[in-house]
Amino acid sequence: MAINEQVYYRLNETLKAEKVTLVAVSKVKPASDIQSLYNLGQRDFAENYVQELVDKQSRLPADIRWHFIGHLQSNKVKYIVPFVHLIHGVDSLSLLKEINKQAAKNNHVTDCLLQVHIALEETKFGLDENELNGILQNAGDLKNIRIKGLMGMASFSDDEEQVRQEFRQLKVCYDQLSRSEITNLQCETLSMGMSGDYKIAVEEGSNMVRIGSLLFGSRNPT
């Protein structure tokens, strides 16, 4: 499916008015589709798989801001740290330490979001409240990472009130985080909302949404 320019322009205009960053989720889509959206002005793109991200980054314009939104394995951190703009799904202290280690080797600071588990599904990744507090107690010692905020995924559900409550729960966590006094904390990003629920997410305080199928069309099953 070709990029729908009308959908992109309308969505981008709406989100800009709300001061919400649009991240285009381009996983399993060809580089040509990403280039098409780039040509319309989009600069933030997200991938779920390290190998795919590394491959696309090497073949596409250098000013793309690449976001990693998948479940990141510690042994693959080194491949994306040199260029990644933002890592969304940090769900353990050990992973955060590995990102810090690899960022130090590259002599720069890597921006991260801590992923909080808010959904009903147990299969979704993320930190609970105790784990989040544990990370925050140790994060100040990591000089080559910067915590930019939180990320979360709501339940895959037709129950809009359930989804809304989950986003609202994450916004409470975000507000609490923003009051923390951690040296490497710059709490400015709340990443929640995807193609099916981004409107609810924005209403509940999201300032970054991850949109795939609305822009690229549905993905073929793998």
pLDDT digits (tens, 9 = 90+) for 113-146: 999 998 876 656 789 888 998 999 999 899 999 9
Residues composing the chain: 222
Q: What is the pTM of this model?
A: 0.93
> Would you state the structure tokens that stand for residue 1, as one six-digit string?
């499916």
| The amino acid at 198 | Y
Q: Is the separation of the CB atoms in 167 and 192 below 8 Å?
A: yes
CATH superfamily of 5-216: Alanine racemase (3.20.20.10)
pLDDT digits (tens, 9 = 90+) for 129-188: 889 989 999 998 999 999 999 999 999 888 999 999 999 999 999 999 999 888 899 999
Write down the domain spans for the chain: 5-216
Question: Of 153, 148, 206, which Cα lies nearest the Cα of 177?
Answer: 148
Integer Cα distance of 92 and 81 in angstroms:
17
Give the per-residue pLDDT at 222: 45
Distances (CA, A) of 33 to 6, 47, 63, 93, 178: 15, 13, 16, 35, 36
